[in-house]
Chains A and B, each alone.
Chain A
Amino acid sequence: MSFRLQMVICGAVLAIFALLVRMIWKKKIDLRYALPWLCLCVGMLILDFFPGITSWLAELMGISLPINMMFFLGFCFCLLIIFTITMSLSRMVRKQKQLAQELALLRREVEEMQQRNAEK
Chain B
Amino acid sequence: MKKLIIIPAYNECDNLPHTIRDVREHAPDYDYVVIDDCSTDETLSLCKEQGFSVIHLPVNLGIGGAVQTGFLYAREQGYDIAVQIDGDGQHNARYLKEMERKMAECDADMVIGSRFIKKEGFQSSVARQMGIRYFTWLIRMLTGVRITDPTSGMRMVNRELIQMFAADYPKDYPEPECVVRALKSWKRVVELPVIMNARQMGVSSISPVNSVYYMVKVTLAVILAWF
Task: Give me the interface of A with B, judged by CB distance under 8 Å.
Answer: 21, 24-25, 30-32, 35, 38, 95, 98-99, 102
Contacts and interface: CB of A to CB of B under 8 A. Distances in A.
Size category of the B interface is 10 to 19
Interface of B: 58-60, 171-172, 213, 216-217, 220-221, 224, 227
- Where chain A touches its partner, the secondary structure class is helix
Given A24-B224, A25-B224, A25-B227, A32 B171 contact: yes
B3 to A, nearest CB: 29
A102 B58 contact: yes
A35 B224 contact: no
Contact of A98 (B58, B171, B172, B217): B58
A31 B220 contact: yes
A99 B58 contact: yes
Contacts of B171: 30, 32
25 contacts: A21-B224, A24-B224, A25-B224, A25-B227, A30-B171, A31-B217, A31-B220, A31-B221, A31-B224, A32-B171, A32-B172, A32-B217, A35-B213, A35-B216, A35-B217, A35-B220, A38-B220, A95-B59, A95-B60, A98-B58, A98-B59, A99-B58, A99-B59, A102-B58, A102-B59
Contacts of B60: 95
B176 to A, nearest CB: 13
Most buried by B among A32, A35, A98: A32
* Complex A-B, nearest 9 residue pairs according to Cβ-Cβ distance, in ascending order: A102-B58, A95-B59, A98-B59, A25-B224, A31-B221, A98-B58, A99-B59, A99-B58, A24-B224
Contacts of A99: 58-59
Contacts of A102: 58-59
Nearest to B170: A31
A21 B225 CA distance: 12
A25 B220 CA distance: 10
A22 to B, nearest CB: 10
A89 B224 CA distance: 26
A108 B220 CA distance: 44
Contacts of B227: 25
Nearest to A21: B224
A95 B61 CA distance: 10
B214 to A, nearest CB: 11
A34 B59 CA distance: 23
